[in-house]
Amino acid sequence: MGYAEVHARSAAISGTRDAWLAVLVDDEAHRNVGVGAAHSTLSSTTADVHLLVGRCSVVMTTRPCSHGLMAMAQPSEPLRTAPDAMSEPAYLALADQLEALVATLAPGDRVPSEHQLIEAHSVSRLTARAALQELEHRFLVRRVRGAGTFVARRIEHRIGPDMPPSGSEAVRRAGGVPGSTLHSVRTRRPTAAVRDALDLDPDERIVAITRAGTVDGLPASYGTSHIPAELVDGIAGHMADGTSIYSTLRDIYGIEPARLWARAEMVAVPSDVAPHLGLEGRPLVWWLESCNHDPRLGRPVELSQSWMRADVYRFVVELGRAE
């Protein structure tokens, strides 16, 4: 196939060109005509843009001209798909191959880089990157800025009648190493939701303990535990990095927390929480809300609210007791 001319409609904004690009490509390898469009901020100088158009990956080189931007496009790679899987994008086919590879590796093992995938599978950088992102979406790998992509280790976080309501204990039982960094310990008035969950009077106060948790030294969770202040006088003096709230309540204050109820759902991580989890953007994470009580006291003793990385935790809910 020859070059396809691409026109860009642009407007000068702060020295850049905000352009809508459209391309019509005849991919002779598959006799397919496709139309692709992308919205991109381009500089007024030469720039390369990668697009997937129909069944081929297209590299467009944009150059300034008298009426805006002009781009020349040529296919960089036809998709290598089997005859019975013509509709499957190349990055998904590659991701499936990588998933099979990941199944043979141990947690923490390095996954081939974009460059290695390009060399080994003769694919474009766009396809290699999309395949690795797909593995992230499947919670199979973890990408660490400046280090590479590694097989994710997912901790089985069990919620059941025989499990203590302790995040660090859940990590230990799954074979991981828990850790935490203390961010703050504050005594304040609770929100209406926290007051209702803990069955507090309007004038009662709570202690809010905010921490970031790790598994095997990597960011894993971020959240706050709310505890009635009258039950834990002076608790700030007992809290430090690595301290278990569950153990502190039991060993220092004689409270025996037991799970009263729990709710878990997948949510987009808030932008102010993402950095604490080592995440970019707003990917899906677990939101866990758990209320614990002490049956002897006959009252709720803790409400915890946490965001937890989905590539680190896998929730398992058990109902009833094993025979």
Domain ranges of the chain: 4-78, 83-151, 155-317
Q: Which of the four pLDDT bands, split at 50, 70 and 90, describes residue 123?
A: very high
Q: Which of the four pLDDT bands, split at 50, 70 and 90, describes residue 235?
A: very high
pLDDT tens string 263-295? 999 999 999 999 999 998 899 999 999 999 999
Query: Do 83-151 and 155-317 fold alike per CATH?
Result: no
Classify domain 155-317 by CATH architecture.
Answer: 3-Layer(aba) Sandwich (3.40)
Q: In this structure, are strands 206-215 and 178-188 parallel, antiparallel, or unpaired?
A: antiparallel
Q: Which of the four pLDDT bands, split at 50, 70 and 90, describes residue 25?
A: very low
The pLDDT of residue 41 is above 80: no
pLDDT score for 75:
41
Element housing 10 (H / E): none
Q: What is the CATH number assigned to the segment(s) 83-151? A: 1.10.10.10
Task: Detail the DSSP E strand segments found in the chain.
Answer: 4-9, 12-13, 16-27, 32-43, 47-53, 56-65, 68-78, 141-144, 148-151, 155-159, 178-188, 206-215, 218-228, 258-268, 284-294, 299-309, 313-317
pLDDT score for 30:
35
Q: Which of the four pLDDT bands, split at 50, 70 and 90, describes residue 155?
A: confident
pTM over 0.75: no
Q: Beta-carbon neighbour count of residue 141 at 10 Å?
A: 24
Alpha helices in 212-318 (DSSP H): 245-251
The pLDDT of residue 212 is above 90: yes
